[in-house]
Amino acid sequence: MQAVAAEFNISQTCYLTRIPNSTSPNTRFRLRWFTPVTEVKLCGHATLASAHTLFTTGLVNSNIIEFDTLSGILTAKKVPDVCPTNVSEVQNGGVSDRFLIELNFPTVPVTDFNSAEASLISKALNDAPLIDVKRTTTADDIFVIPQ
């Protein structure tokens, strides 16, 4: 998988594998994402694209898909698009087959970042003013909210 992602040389390449006979009542797939150099834990746009492909091609017959990932179980839910696409659709009482996809990602617990170290983050970002800096408690990642 990594070799193919390196050959594609795009920001993210994702791989889907159906999980047969899952204990879940929902259709389940293993989903993995790779950059050209490494596997990553989460990629929202590739998850959305995967769900859209599965829903629109008829490869799933339910409105919920579960993705087993390095970040845990992510869900994609197919919900009706209640906004009409144009005035004639409303006037003719037509119903659109359009839909939206609602993604549910895991939450990551965060803690406050040391304010003395936050100034180093600002300096590394060309002295950009920062609103907040948080650190994840699980992977030690840093979230920076610039002004």
The 10s digit of each residue's pLDDT in 54-77 is 999 989 989 999 999 999 999 999
> Is the pLDDT assigned to residue 33 strictly greater than 80?
yes
**Cβ atoms of residues 145 and 130 within 8 Å:** yes
Identify whether residues 38 and 87 lie together within a single domain. Answer: yes
Residue-range definition of the domain harbouring residue 46: 2-106
Q: What is the pLDDT of residues 86-141, one digit of tens each?
A: 555 555 555 556 789 999 988 888 888 877 788 888 888 888 888 888 888 887 78
Identify whether residues 114 and 102 lie together within a single domain. Answer: no
Identify whether residues 25 and 70 lie together within a single domain. Answer: yes
- Output the domain CATH number for residue 81: 3.10.310.10
